[in-house]
Structure 1
């Protein structure tokens, strides 16, 4: 009984002394001000409000037009996460990724010996909440690289023919998942939980106010590209790609206000209570 009491006290003590932080990791693109240009302050501020110390957050700004292992991608991410952990004394790190940001984070988790900074990041990471991760790539990347009509339709979304888009071709991601990354079927598990939030549809009716959340023009574009994807998709990624790595935390309609779906753009915005769910998760 005495031993059990001591173990309980130690567990309580470790929780009380934990210093939790959150990192926001953007998707494809080169960012210098991801708070304003990618996530929006409303989303970031609402989510970080769930921390015991709301100042314990970092918004990553890296060049995710590069391959995931590149110094401008995983190298930049590792550097910014390491600085954040050390400067704020973070003992519990929760990482929120969007789209291709999930691939870059999964590279770090899957390759601990690739960079001397990775082990610290992995040891402090509690979980990754991956919003619409492109874990198995997208047929739209295939089309962009092939140079057909999708290139003009998707230029604003994918950034044309950069290495990150090339990497997200479905056949390329299948090879990476089989050889370089953990967490997909038949592969070793990731060392920390990787939980996907899956977007299942796109609404773009001008008469539906929900279609305007996150940007009406963007949702119209995603509704168009959805025509070339599976019936279950967020306009950029099939549900099967979003669900390919780790576990599914939830599908949008199961937990969004009004059972609304999340388009690929809305899954990085304060839409339908997504920010509230992520905020609450920081305290668990």
Structure 2
């Protein structure tokens, strides 16, 4: 209800402002991206979501080096630069940001530290809200396992990127320190200046006889179901549900909104699976 009330208020405000220009930014997770449209999100997902824009050309897919610490110039600095260029070139006055996984941490750094970079305040002022898909807001035990150098170092290289600074940062204890001292929006901390709405993936399906298990890549879902054995019973194969909803407010859990009450694995929460793209499209 709160989110609906906010949406109605914003819609009335936009209607009163003839010059309002709505845009959407897609912010990827851990990894060094040069073509996140095809390699991370998938063009079908992005093209479906941007249909919700009054002008479908007003979107940007971010490509940055999120193998770095969130505050690094190659991470938050790169994100700030690309968002600033998009806002200025497209005349954006109303920006919806869609993040995934560690992208939520980089975005939350910008929201939490407006004096760190002169570009941050202007970006924050344009943001309507952030839709955080499977955000790693409290880190993941899998990052601890990778950094400790056990079997996960090899087994999880495909999803984590080995011992990068971004993986080191997402260790559970490290994220607890950042949340307590450097980031806003978690329990006991001041609220973020703009809404940070979490979409939580609760499980992984990987049966070869279930067609839904193939959405987003069957082999990836098999891997995520394996890693789920080292996580809580409520997890998306990479993140516990508690981490995904540690910051901001819960928007919804997958089984409450997805077609057929299907869960979203960590990979599926960045794909056009089970109507996720349509929900995000309608939200714009």
Equivalent residue number for residue 200 of structure 2: 198
RMSD: 1.2
Name 2:64's counterpart in structure 1: 62
Three-state SS of the structure 1 residue aligned to 2:16 is helix
Equivalent position of 2:262 in the other structure:
260
Asked if residue 181 in structure 1 is aligned to residue 183 in structure 2, the reply is yes
Partner of 1:194: helix, strand, or coil? strand
Task: Please give the per-residue CA displacement for 1:70-120, whole angstroms capped at 9, x wherever unaligned.
Answer: 000000000000000000000000000000000000000000000000000
For residues 17 and 136 of structure 2, the distance between their equivalents in structure 1, rounded to whole angstroms, comes to 33
Q: What are the Cα deviations for residues 148-176 of structure 1, in whole angstroms up to 9, with x where unaligned? A: 01111100000000000000000000000
| Aligned equivalent of 2:23 | 21
Match of 1:246 among 215, 224, 248: 248
C-alpha displacement of 1:195: 0.2
Alignment partner, residue 150 of structure 2: 148
For 1:72, the equivalent position in structure 2 comes to 74
2:209 to 207, 210, 219: 207
For residues 175 and 275 of structure 1, the distance between their equivalents in structure 2, rounded to whole angstroms, comes to 33
Match of 2:108 in 1: 106
SS at match of 1:97: strand
Per-residue Cα deviation, 1:217-249 (whole angstroms, up to 9, x for no partner): 000000000000000000000000001000000
Q: Does residue 46 of structure 1 match 2:29?
A: no
Query: Any conservation in 1 of the 2:14–2:20 contact (CA below 8 Å)?
Result: no
Aligned length: 274
Q: 1:113 to 1:198 in 2, by over 3 A?
A: same
From 232, 237, 240, the equivalent of 1:230 is: 232
Match of 2:38 among 33, 36, 39: 36
The Cα shift of 1:15 comes to: 4.1
Report the Cα distance in structure 1 between the residues aligned to 2:14 and 2:95, rounded to whole angstroms: 19
Q: Secondary structure at the match of 2:183?
A: coil
Contact 2:145 2:152 (C-alpha < 8 Å) held by counterparts:
yes
Aligned to 2:123: 121
1:4 maps to which residue?
none
2:96–2:127: 8 Å Cα contact kept in structure 1? yes
Distance 1:17 1:240 in 2: 40
TM-score, reference length from structure 2: 0.95
User: Please, which runs of 5 or more residues in structure 1 have no aligned partner?
Assistant: 1-7
Does structure 1 retain, via aligned residues, the 8 Å contact 2:104–2:136?
A: yes
Q: Compared with structure 1, are the counterparts of its residues 48 and 13 closer, same or farther at alpha carbon in structure 2 (3 Å cutoff)?
A: closer
- Structure 2 unaligned residues grouped into runs of 5+: 1-8
Instruction: Identify which of 241, 262, 272 aligns with 2:274.
Output: 272
Q: 2:103 and 2:180 mapped to 1: Cα distance?
A: 19
Runs of 4 or more, structure 1, over 2 Å off, are 10-17
Structure 1 or 2, whichever has the larger Rg, is 1
The match for 2:160 among 139, 158, 161 is 158
Q: Which residue of 1 aligns with 2:136?
A: 134
- Offset at 1:12? 6.4
Q: Find the aligned partners of 1:62 and 1:11 in 2 and give their Cα distance.
A: 33
